[in-house]
Amino acid sequence: MDSKSLKSKCWEIIDNRADWLVNISKHILQNPEPGFHEFETAEFVSRKLDELGLPHEKGIALTGIKGTIDGGLPGPTIAIIGELDSLRVAGHAHANPETDAAHACGHHCQIGMMLGVTAAFKEIAKNSMIPGKLVFMALPAEEFIDVEFRYGLHQQGQIEFMSGKQEFLKLGAFDDVDLAVMAHTSKTEEGKFSIGGTSNGHVVKYVRFLGKASHAGGSPHEGVNALQASMVALNALNTQRETLKNEDTIRLHGIMTKGGVSVSSIPAEVKYEGRVRGGTTEAIADANLKMDRCLKAGALAIGCEVEIITLPGYLPIKNDPHMSDIFIDNAATLVGANNVIQKPVRHNSGGSTDMGDLSQIMPVIHPYTGVASGTGHGIDYLVHDYTQAVVNPAKALAGTIVDLLCREDSPAKKILSDFNQDYSIKSYVEMQRSRLTKEKYVPI
Partner 1 sequence: MDSTKIKSVVCDEIEKNKDKLIGVAKEILENPEPGFKEFKTAKIVSREFSSLDMPHESGIAITGLKSHLDSGKPGQNIAVIGELDSLKVLGHPFEDKETTAAHACGHHCQIAMMLGVAVGLKASGVLEKLAGKVTFMAVPAEEYIEVEYRDNLRRRGEIEFLGGKPEFVRLGHFDDVDMAMMTHTSVPSNECKISFGGTNNGLVAKSIQFSGVASHAGGAPHMGVNALNAAMVAMSAIHAQRETYRDQDTIRIHPIITKGGVAVSSVPADVRMETYVRGASIDAFLSASEKVDRALRAGAMAVGGSVTITTLPGYLPIQSNESFLDLYKNNAAELVGQEKLGRLTHRTGSTDMGDLSQLMPVIHPYVEAASGNGHGIDYVIDDYDLAVVTGAKAMAMTVIDLLTDGASNAARIVSENDSPLTKSSYLSLLRSMTKEETFKE
Q: Which residues bind partner 1 (CB under 8 A)?
A: 216, 220-221, 223, 225, 228-229, 231-233, 235-236, 239-240, 242-245, 266, 290, 293-294, 296-298, 300-303, 443
**Minimum CB distance to partner 1 smaller for 125 or for 250:** 250
**Minimum CB distance to partner 1 smaller for 32 or for 223:** 223
Could you tell me the smallest distance in angstroms from the CB atom of residue 250 to partner 1?
A: 10
> How far apart are the C-alpha atoms of 303 and 172, rounded to whole Å?
45
Backbone angles phi, psi at 97, to 5 degrees: -65, -20
Beta strands in 117-250 (DSSP E): 130-139, 179-181, 184-187, 193-198, 201-210
**Minimum CB distance to partner 1 smaller for 218 or for 344:** 218
Could you tell me the smallest distance in angstroms from the CB atom of residue 151 to partner 1?
A: 26
**Minimum CB distance to partner 1 smaller for 172 or for 303:** 303
**Minimum CB distance to partner 1 smaller for 84 or for 231:** 231
**Minimum CB distance to partner 1 smaller for 298 or for 313:** 298
Opening angle at CA 240, ends 239 and 244, nearest 5: 145
Nearest to 94 by CA among 408, 383, 389, 417: 383
> How far apart are the C-alpha atoms of 407 and 403, rounded to whole Å?
5
Could you tell me the smallest distance in angstroms from the CB atom of residue 217 to partner 1?
A: 10
Could you tell me the smallest distance in angstroms from the CB atom of residue 223 to partner 1?
A: 7
> How far apart are the C-alpha atoms of 404 and 132, rounded to whole Å?
10
Could you tell me the smallest distance in angstroms from the CB atom of residue 233 to partner 1?
A: 8
Q: Is 298 left (phi over 0), alpha (psi -120 to 50) or beta?
A: alpha
Could you tell me the smallest distance in angstroms from the CB atom of residue 305 to partner 1?
A: 13
**Minimum CB distance to partner 1 smaller for 245 or for 438:** 245
**Minimum CB distance to partner 1 smaller for 26 or for 293:** 293
56-61 long-range Cβ contacts below 8 angstroms, 24+ apart: 56/136, 60/168, 60/171, 60/173, 61/36, 61/139, 61/140, 61/141, 61/159, 61/164, 61/167, 61/168, 61/171, 61/173
What single DSSP character describes residue 270?
E
Could you tell me the smallest distance in angstroms from the CB atom of residue 349 to partner 1?
A: 22
* Whether 410 contacts 392, CB under 8 Å: no
**Minimum CB distance to partner 1 smaller for 248 or for 357:** 248
Bridge-based pairing of strands 64-70 and 340-348 is unpaired
Could you tell me the smallest distance in angstroms from the CB atom of residue 260 to partner 1?
A: 13
Backbone angles phi, psi at 167, to 5 degrees: -70, -40
Opening angle at CA 254, ends 183 and 312, nearest 5: 60
Could you tell me the smallest distance in angstroms from the CB atom of residue 226 to partner 1?
A: 11
Could you tell me the smallest distance in angstroms from the CB atom of residue 444 to partner 1?
A: 10
Bridge-based pairing of strands 193-198 and 340-348 is parallel
Could you tell me the smallest distance in angstroms from the CB atom of residue 243 to partner 1?
A: 5
Distances (CA, A) of 211 to 28, 207, 221, 231, 307: 43, 13, 12, 13, 11
**Minimum CB distance to partner 1 smaller for 230 or for 352:** 230
The neighbouring-strand residues paired with 364 are 180
Q: By three-state DSSP, how is residue 417 classified?
A: helix
> How far apart are the C-alpha atoms of 60 and 140, rounded to whole Å?
9
**Minimum CB distance to partner 1 smaller for 98 or for 444:** 444
What one-letter code names the amino acid at 372?
A
| Max intra-chain CA distance, the chain | 84
